[in-house]
Structure 1
């Protein structure tokens, strides 16, 4: 077996492990031992996935497609960001300054720059995948801007870390399900492969992530309490 095929096989096995543990963690009670255990295994699997993913993306960039290679490298950046954020949010939940330190700021800047590159490719070069390139460029650009804003001042909400953790895990889930729908599912069910599945595989998880972010934010994050005035001051 060549090194390339070995990397692909390792990537696929880790992807299966990530998909299974993602749903175990997502469906179990938050904070329970099973939830924490599955989450740790999931993040370790994602880290392990990112190791072979980088040389595979570079190989595509050099040997097959510059557009495809650059896009995969961009995806690598945003997945590294979501994995790092979801992990460090738990580790640094009592130390915002440490969480929002140099590594966080560097990732934010890298997301913005790489997102703008992908946006430019979507507008001027990627004819067949224009919608996908433009849609995904917003993840890096808008996400990076939000990260830089987050570093300006310590948050008032003591559960800021939970918001960051949930956001990171949702991003991880997007990456996991795109990989399954665009690579794993067509191999399992070749009759489903085609342009429709291609677009659903890329844009479906992204749209689902927006809905999940809103739902989980309302469920697990406290809402601000509106200030009330004494009865005699209402006029």
Structure 2
């Protein structure tokens, strides 16, 4: 059991981590689009890309902390708060996994064989298996956000494993995977803001569940567009 003093200390730590999460989240939200519109591989693209990636790393770690706190340590959590906490943990995993993938495909862009580095396979495996578990749990408790949003992670986790465990067949495939990874990370950025940030900023109780999926719906054509363009470019 945690005494009253321990509860107060945990609440102070939680509040501090919440502000770290908010600042890093807004930094990511304001910078994610710059690498998209700037020259790929250029100085601005690279520098802002690292700022965005670093911000998302902080967002992910702080999301895990806050989610676990809400589930296991907060004396004020109810079933709805716990459901949102699980989503926070999963979207933190999605952010970390996609950002890591986007970086690591650059690191191994010249590989000529299957890639079996444990850390690079662990993230997509967790994304895939965790997504299945979260989706089942979401259906069980009738919570649409957990029931359907993890499908994004299931697809991305599966596609990342598919890329790592196969020998690249197309020149420049690494660039396509880098773009897909970072754009997928931006889905997590915008979705988290839609679910958590916007309601607090606008001082409303919550947003309609349909709005939670708009970032995925909007970003999916962008991902398909970039993938199609570069696939055609490298196929010739």
**Alignment map for 1:22-171 (pairs within 5 Å):** 22-62=32-72, 63=74, 64=77, 65-95=81-111, 97=113, 101-125=117-141, 127=142, 129-130=143-144, 132-171=145-184
Is structure 2 residue 190 aligned with structure 1 residue 174? no
Q: Is the 8 A contact 1:88 1:99 kept in 2?
A: no
Q: 1:96 to 1:133 in 2, by over 3 A?
A: farther
Q: Deviations over 1:3-24 (max 9, x none)?
A: 2211111111111111122122
Check if 1:185 corresponds to 2:201: no
TM-score normalised by L of structure 2: 0.82
The CA distance in 2 between the partners of 1:43 and 1:86, in whole Å, is 9
- Number of matched pairs: 220
> What CA distance in whole angstroms lies between the structure 2 residues aligned with 1:195 and 1:15?
18
- Coordinate RMSD, CA, aligned: 2.4
Corresponding residue number in structure 1 for 2:227: 217
**1:105 Cα deviation (Å)?**
1.9
3-state SS of paired residue (1:208): helix
Contact 1:22 1:173 survives alignment (8 Å): yes
Asked which structure has the greater CA Rg, the reply is: 1
Per the normalisation by structure 1, the TM-score is 0.83
